[in-house]
Structure 1
Amino acid sequence: MTSGKDAMGEQPIFTCKAHVFHIDPKTKRSWMPASSTAVSVSFFYDSSRSLYRIISVEGQKAVINSTVTPNMTFTKTSQKFGQWSDVRANTVYGLGFSSEIELQKFIDKFNEVKEATRNAISKVTSNGASVVTPVSSANASPITARAATGTDSTDNLLEPPGSAALPQNQIKEEEIPHPRSHSVSVCRVTRAQVIKLSKRNQLPICN
């Protein structure tokens, strides 16, 4: 039996597999692998707050925790790779897919969710209520003029990782750096969500 909390909380609405990358926080010019292999990347919807998040967990570590806003843009930079900037999490996420078809499925869902977020905000503002912009990470930088004016676009597109960085087989764990700068606190990925994402058969994997 589903509890009331589960019914009202975040629920996965789409899941696919991809290699996850973060922009190098030092150089801002290259990619750092955030996952050691292709992992589940899921869109979650919180009906109580009309919020969408992109979440990916490997083991006990959240490698993606990004709250979708209407101003975000997912940019396809190669046949199997794309990226988006999350100003509030102070990072750029990159995803490498096994095929162009899988990448396109993610792009379609990203745009669908972004539009749904825009419509939800429009309904709130039309009713005279104020809109509170969510913060997706405890390490998020202060809301700057750039973020406030809605420019979550990728100003500096990076070259996608080389083919060697996107192997079909698992990369050795010791070769993967695990930066701690993107730990989740404010919009926390709960232990229950980690368990859900770890049990692949409980999520609707895209075909």
Structure 2
Amino acid sequence: YREQPIFSTRAHVFQIDPNTKKNWVPTSKHAVTVSYFYDSTRNVYRIISLDGSKAIINSTITPNMTFTKTSQKFGQWADSRANTVYGLGFSSEHHLSKFAEKFQEFKEAARLAKEKSQEKMELTSTPSQESAGGDLQSPLTPESINGTDDERTPDVTQNSEPRAEPTQNALPFSHRVSDKPCSSIANVKKIPIC
């Protein structure tokens, strides 16, 4: 292998029975080394385990993979490319947790690597990508803003619109309205309030 192991542990390796898809079939008779490898030429992370010269695990980590702890010492993940589910039995809960931690870490790294490679591909066709992105974003933004305003703050939008209208458009009108009661009050009570 060109790659160097970046994390190694020991575990009993199992694969799901291809016929029943329920039972586990042990692929190692005893605990074997299970390692994470990073292939710098292809920018991929892989889980590899050898039993003697035979590769019993050769699984490329993809962003949509999930490692699931099914007990305190057992975990599994599905590999769609290999069309199987791998299971690992660990000697302790600590080893399982460490393996799960690394799985999450390298899965995230695989996601970032995938995004970067997509960006490189997009750079070759930047103009069309950008315009497409712009077109997609412009209708989304106002809709989402209006949506949140309507849903979250109906009072503010309802109140602010009528408030805005009289202050801007109907100032003279509102003055006239206020003048009348003032003058009538002044006439009746003969108090020059206004």
TM-score after normalising by structure 1: 0.57
Give 1:59 deviation, angstroms: 1.1
Structure number with greater CO (CA < 8 Å, separation at least 6) is 1
Aligned residue number for residue 65 of structure 2? 72
Task: Please state whether the residue corresponding to 1:56 is helix, strand or coil.
Answer: strand
Give 1:107 deviation, angstroms: 0.3
Aligned residue number for residue 192 of structure 2? none
1:120 aligns with 2:113: yes
Structure (1 or 2) with the larger CA radius of gyration: 2
Partner Cα separation in structure 2 for residue 49 and residue 61 of structure 1: 23
Query: Where in structure 2 are there 5+ consecutive unaligned residues?
Result: 124-194
Q: What whole-Å deviation, never above 9, does each CA across 1:145-200 have from its counterpart, x for those lacking one?
A: xxxxxxxxxxxxxxxxxxxxxxxxxxxxxxxxxxxxxxxxxxxxxxxxxxxxxxxx
1:15 aligns with 2:32: no
Query: Where in structure 1 are there 5+ consecutive unaligned residues?
Result: 1-5, 131-207
Q: Which amino acid aligns with 2:94?
A: I
1:107 aligns with 2:100: yes
TM-score after normalising by structure 2: 0.61
Aligned residue number for residue 92 of structure 1? 85
1:50 aligns with 2:51: no
Task: Please state whether the residue corresponding to 1:37 is helix, strand or coil.
Answer: coil
Q: Which amino acid aligns with 1:111?
A: Q
Q: Which amino acid aligns with 1:27?
A: T
Q: What whole-Å deviation, never above 9, does each CA across 1:116-163 have from its counterpart, x for those lacking one?
A: 000011111122359xxxxxxxxxxxxxxxxxxxxxxxxxxxxxxxxx
Task: Please state whether the residue corresponding to 1:108 is helix, strand or coil.
Answer: helix
Task: Please state whether the residue corresponding to 1:21 is helix, strand or coil.
Answer: strand
Q: What whole-Å deviation, never above 9, does each CA across 1:19-64 have from its counterpart, x for those lacking one?
A: 0000011111100000000000000101111111100001121110
Partner Cα separation in structure 2 for residue 40 and residue 26 of structure 1: 27
Q: What whole-Å deviation, never above 9, does each CA across 1:37-92 have from its counterpart, x for those lacking one?
A: 00000001011111111000011211101011000000000000000000110100
Q: Percent same amino acid among aligned pairs?
A: 65
Task: Please state whether the residue corresponding to 1:126 is helix, strand or coil.
Answer: helix
Partner Cα separation in structure 2 for residue 97 and residue 24 of structure 1: 20
The structure carrying a bigger helix percent of its residues is 2
- Runs of 4 or more above 3 Å deviation: none
Partner Cα separation in structure 1 for residue 122 and residue 61 of structure 2: 20
Count residues with an aligned counterpart: 123
Aligned residue number for residue 164 of structure 2? none
